[in-house]
Amino acid sequence: MAKKIVFAGGPATGKTTLIQALELRGYACAQEVSRQVTLEARENGISQFFVSDPLLFSEKLLEGRINQYKEAQEHKASMVFLDRGLPEVVAYLDRGNTPYPNHFSKACEDHQYDRVFIFPPWEEIYTPDNERYEDYQEALKIYPFLKAAYDRFGYESIILPKDTVENRISFVLENI
């Protein structure tokens, strides 16, 4: 059973860049699920799915992350790096003060990761893109909710230092 290592954090904190760098080194990695959910919604004429229907968007995201968790768990590699985890679904709903059914919390309790690295907001690397609706100010606002969600589900998260990709990779590998 593979260790599941989560890279958690708001938009434009370097998660995807680190995942891609680890993939190039031959590590097993899972990409961010919300981008696919957002692209599928756009194909159906919904430009900002999370903004227009946060609960439905989050249901789809929860389902995708559960599937990703299961795939990571069965992976043949010794560890799999995941771009975000289940507690982030509830963090975004909490940030928006959006009520959600109990199965959201139950999914977070039932699908535990082995290690969580939280990427803090980093203005110098923030760049908008087509799937990202949050600006840097929103990244600052979501950060405490992300940390609180992981705390709530019993994780001792490690804050990833702002540094070069190589130094961040070294930090991660030393702290697994």
pLDDT tens string 119-171: 999 888 867 665 555 677 888 899 999 999 999 999 999 999 999 999 999 99
Domain that holds residue 38: 3-174
Listed residue (125, 138, 127, 131) closest to 165, CA to CA: 125
13's enclosing H/E stretch is none
Spatial contact of 9 and 143, defined as CB atoms under 8 Å apart:
yes
- What tokens were used for 119? 């990427």
CATH of the domain at 131: 3.40.50.300
Task: Please state the domain count of the chain.
Answer: 1
Query: What does the pLDDT look like over 72-129, one tens digit per residue?
Result: 999 999 999 999 999 999 999 999 999 999 999 999 999 999 999 999 998 888 676 6
Question: Cα(90)–Cα(55) distance, rounded to whole angstroms?
Answer: 10
- pTM, full prediction: 0.88
Question: Cα(85)–Cα(51) distance, rounded to whole angstroms?
Answer: 20
| 26-44 residues labelled b (16+ CB within 10 A) or e (exposed) | ebbbbebbbeebbeebeee
Instruction: Check pLDDT > 60 for residue 49.
Output: no
